[in-house]
Every structure is written in structure tokens, then in C-alpha cells.
């Protein structure tokens, strides 16, 4: 290597940064004691800002573009260096590249439940989580307030601080809104925009801007969610007595397939039907006590007892008996009885039940 090549290696004449990461916010150009050559090429790419620092003082800032470093386009550095009449020799200065692109999918979430007073449930605890996107809005302020002299500053070094800001403002916003817990899901957009507007001034003090904040989920404690699931299940079931009768009819069909267990199944079904009727009556009575303006319950429907293997089962409504006829567990010769009948009688001899058998199609003809 000649003397000229050796001397040229002492100088930096190309300054640029090609970012291959997704989380680098600030990167310091590695000068390695080399001096920057006057007239060196500085390349600042889109979503970048380059800042020159001289002995701890920030000087010139460069937006995207290509620059020949001369005293004319380095006015602040020239002043700090005392280059009053032009300067052409190499010089030393730190060069920081600041990434101004959006950093998306930054996570936030409550470490501990938020205590709130709900109009419907009373004191409750809520958890929430979501994402936000940010970018560096003021490169010099960010370098001064946050990054400092860090040669490689990433999002991981600031997300904890920003996350705490988001959670604090979100907690305050959701408490002030007084939105019922069951209505929060329909107000995610409004809450997100409100929190976004509230936290941006604090982020801008650090030179950062929040581009978007999203609430992905607000959840209740598991035990409260389980209670809500049970409450929803009761609403879906509706008439508890009719549901119990339907379950008992299905049990009778399964018991008929087992043969010897028919008597035990019939007795168990009768007990289940009685319990279902009692629970249904209690449910109707409670509703009547809560609201005196509701109409009285409908008149009771006619119910029949069925003899199965010498055991009394039931009572069953005509609707359930119709299902039993279709399943083949109630036949024309099955003995039935209802309140007001003098004795047990075959089902086909009871006018109200005889019509049930006429609605059942006859057996299919044998295959040809």
C-alpha cells in the first residue's frame, strides 16, 4: 500500500446508513477515529434524518437527499468549529442517523386489573390490551431527551416508558367515561381515539408522535365471565319446565333401547318432570313478584301419566306424548291416565290422544 492510499484510509468520504432492522430508531455512524473529509458525500434516505454533533452539541440536521459536505451547507458546525473564512481540511464530528418511519404493532396491556365502579355490576376489575404505532417527529428533541449518546437505540429501550403512559391515560379515560362494562365493546373506536388524543402531547415532549392506538380487548375476571355465561345460558333455554320435559323424553327414548332399565328410567323421568314443573312454577312466581303489571300465567295444560312395565311415569304434555309416539315409545295399547278419568285406559281409546296416532305415517312397505 502506497503512502497516498494509507493517508486516504485515514479519512471518511462516504457517510450513509442502510437499515436492515425493523426496530432501530437511532444509529451512530461508526467513524473509528477517522476524520471526515471535507467534501465527503452524505446520503440521507427516505424516512431518515442525519444530525451532526460536535463535542456534545447538536449542529446541522439533514433531511433526505445527497449532500457534499462543505462549509456552506454546514453553517452550525462551521460556527461551532470557528470556521470563519472557509475550511477545507478533514474534521471530526459524530453523525447520528434517526429513523423517522412508523414503528407499528407496539404492544400495550394492563399488568394489573383496573378497579372500576360499574352501574350494573358494582365494583369490578377489568383488563385491557392493544397495539399502537409511533414515529419520531422531532429528531433533535428525541436525540436529546431519549437516545443521548447511545450508538444503537432500539424500540425496546423506550417501549416500557411509552407503555406506562398509554396504560395510565387509558385507565383514567375508561374511568371517566362511565360506560357500562357490557357496552365497552361497542365503544372501542371512541375510547381509542380519546386515549390517542390525550397521550399525544406527552409523547411529543419526547419528540415522538403516536400515529394510531387500538384497543383489541377489554375483559372481565374469569369468574365473572363464567357467571355471565350461565346467565346467557338461562336466557337461551327460556321455559325451564318445557326444556326439562324435552330432556326427559330423550332419556326415555334411550332407556327403551336398553330394555331392562326401562322401569328405572321411567321413575327417574317422572321425578325429573315433577322437578321441572316445580322450577317452572317458581320461575313464573318470581317474575310475578318482580312486576305486578305482567299478565297472569296461562291456564295449565292437560297432562297424562303413562304406565311403563308396571311403573307410573309422567306427567307428560300432549306435545311430549307426540314426540314419544314418533319415537315408538308410546303405542296405541299403552295404558294412560289423566286427572278426571275413572280408570287407566288404552291411549287409542282417549279421544285427545287417538289423533296423535293418526299423524304418524304407517310403516314402510317391505323392499321389493
Q: What are phi and psi of 230, to 5 degrees?
A: -65, -40
Q: Mean of the pLDDT values across residues 11-15?
A: 84
Confirm whether 367 is domain-assigned: no
Please identify, among 70, 99, 128, the residue that sits at the C-terminal boundary of a domain.
99
Q: Are residues 113 and 143 in the same domain?
A: yes
Confirm whether 255 is domain-assigned: yes
The whole-angstrom separation of Cα 256 and Cα 355 is 23
Q: What is the pLDDT of residues 28-39, one digit of tens each?
A: 998 766 688 888
Report the chain's mean pLDDT, rounded to a whole number: 80
Q: What is the pLDDT of residues 92-133, one digit of tens each?
A: 899 999 999 999 999 999 888 888 888 878 888 898 999 999
Q: Are residues 8 and 57 in the same domain?
A: yes
What pTM, to 2 d.p., does this model score?
0.58
Domain membership of residue 331 as a residue range: 236-285+301-358
Q: Are residues 107 and 91 in the same domain?
A: no
pLDDT of residue 24: 94
Q: Are residues 91 and 19 in the same domain?
A: yes
Please identify, among 69, 99, 129, the residue that sits at the C-terminal boundary of a domain.
99
Please identify, among 68, 83, 99, the residue that sits at the C-terminal boundary of a domain.
99
Q: Are residues 79 and 164 in the same domain?
A: no
Q: Are residues 156 and 196 in the same domain?
A: yes
Confirm whether 135 is domain-assigned: yes
Confirm whether 78 is domain-assigned: yes
From 138, 146, 153, 244, select the one nearest 200 (Cα to Cα).
138
Q: Are residues 252 and 347 in the same domain?
A: yes
Q: What is the pLDDT of residues 32-82, one digit of tens each?
A: 666 888 889 999 999 999 999 998 899 999 999 999 999 888 999 988 888
Q: Are residues 142 and 210 in the same domain?
A: yes
pLDDT of residue 4: 44
Q: Are residues 75 and 159 in the same domain?
A: no
Asked whether residue 261 carries a pLDDT value surpassing 70, the answer given is no
From 299, 302, 305, select the one nearest 336 (Cα to Cα).
305
Q: How many domains does the chain have?
A: 3
Confirm whether 154 is domain-assigned: yes
Among 7-21, 181-195, 266-280, which range has the highest average pLDDT?
181-195
The whole-angstrom separation of Cα 157 and Cα 162 is 10
Q: Are residues 75 and 148 in the same domain?
A: no
For residue 169, the tally of other CB atoms under 10 A from its CB is 19
Q: Are residues 267 and 349 in the same domain?
A: yes
The whole-angstrom separation of Cα 79 and Cα 66 is 22
Q: pLDDT class for 5, splitting at 50, 70, 90? A: very low
Contact between residue 153 and residue 207 where contact means Cβ atoms under 8 Å apart = no
How does DSSP classify residue 71?
G
**What are 209's three cell numbers?**
408522535
Domain CATH code at residue 198 = 3.30.479.30
Confirm whether 295 is domain-assigned: no
Confirm whether 296 is domain-assigned: no
Confirm whether 48 is domain-assigned: yes
Q: Are residues 8 and 36 in the same domain?
A: yes
The whole-angstrom separation of Cα 65 and Cα 14 is 14
The whole-angstrom separation of Cα 175 and Cα 184 is 12
Amino acid at each position: 500500500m502506497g503512502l497516498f492510499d494509507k493517508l486516504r484510509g485515514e479519512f471518511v468520504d462516504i457517510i450513509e446508513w442502510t437499515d436492515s432492522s425493523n426496530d432501530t430508531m437511532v444509529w451512530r455512524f461508526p467513524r473509528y477515529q477517522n476524520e471526515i473529509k471535507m467534501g465527503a458525500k452524505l446520503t440521507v434516505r427516505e424516512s431518515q434524518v442525519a444530525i451532526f454533533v460536535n463535542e456534545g452539541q447538536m449542529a446541522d440536521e439533514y433531511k433526505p437527499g445527497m449532500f457534499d459536505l462543505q462549509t456552506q451547507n454546514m453553517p452550525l458546525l462551521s460556527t461551532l468549529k470557528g470556521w470563519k473564512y472557509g475550511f477545507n481540511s478533514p474534521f471530526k464530528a459524530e453523525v447520528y442517523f434517526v429513523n423517522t418511519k412508523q414503528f407499528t404493532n407496539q404492544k400495550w396491556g394492563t399488568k394489573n386489573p383496573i378497579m372500576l365502579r360499574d352501574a350494573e355490576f358494582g365494583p369490578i376489575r377489568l383488563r385491557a390490551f392493544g397495539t399502537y404505532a409511533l414515529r419520531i417527529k422531532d429528531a433533535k428533541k428525541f436525540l436529546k431527551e431519549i437516545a443521548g449518546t447511545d450508538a444503537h437505540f432500539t424500540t425496546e429501550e423506550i417501549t416500557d416508558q411509552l407503555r406506562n403512559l398509554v396504560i395510565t391515560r387509558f385507565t383514567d379515560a375508561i374511568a371517566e367515561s362511565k360506560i357500562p362494562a357490557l357496552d365497552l365493546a361497542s365503544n372501542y373506536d371512541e375510547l381509542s381515539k380519546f386515549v390517542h388524543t390525550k397521550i399525544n402531547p406527552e409523547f411529543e415532549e419526547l419528540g415522538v408522535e403516536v400515529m394510531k392506538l387500538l384497543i383489541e380487548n377489554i375483559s372481565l375476571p374469569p369468574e365473572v365471565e363464567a357467571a355471565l355465561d350461565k346467565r346467557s345460558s338461562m336466557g337461551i333455554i327460556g321455559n325451564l319446565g318445557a326444556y326439562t320435559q324435552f330432556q326427559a323424553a330423550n332419556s326415555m327414548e334411550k332407556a327403551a333401547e336398553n330394555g331392562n332399565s326401562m322401569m328405572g328410567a321411567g321413575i327417574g323421568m317422572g321425578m325429573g318432570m315433577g322437578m321441572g314443573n316445580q322450577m317452572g312454577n317458581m320461575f313464573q312466581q318470581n317474575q310475578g313478584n318482580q312486576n305486578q303489571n305482567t299478565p297472569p300465567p296461562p291456564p295449565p295444560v292437560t297432562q297424562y301419566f303413562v304406565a311403563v312395565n308396571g311403573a307410573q311415569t309422567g306427567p307428560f304434555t300432549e306435545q311430549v306424548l307426540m314426540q314419544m309416539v314418533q319415537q315408538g315409545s308410546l303405542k296405541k295399547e299403552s295404558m294412560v291416565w289423566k286427572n278426571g278419568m275413572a280408570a287407566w285406559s288404552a291411549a287409542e281409546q282417549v279421544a285427545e290422544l287417538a289423533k296423535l296416532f293418526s299423524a304418524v305415517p304407517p310403516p314402510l312397505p317391505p323392499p321389493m
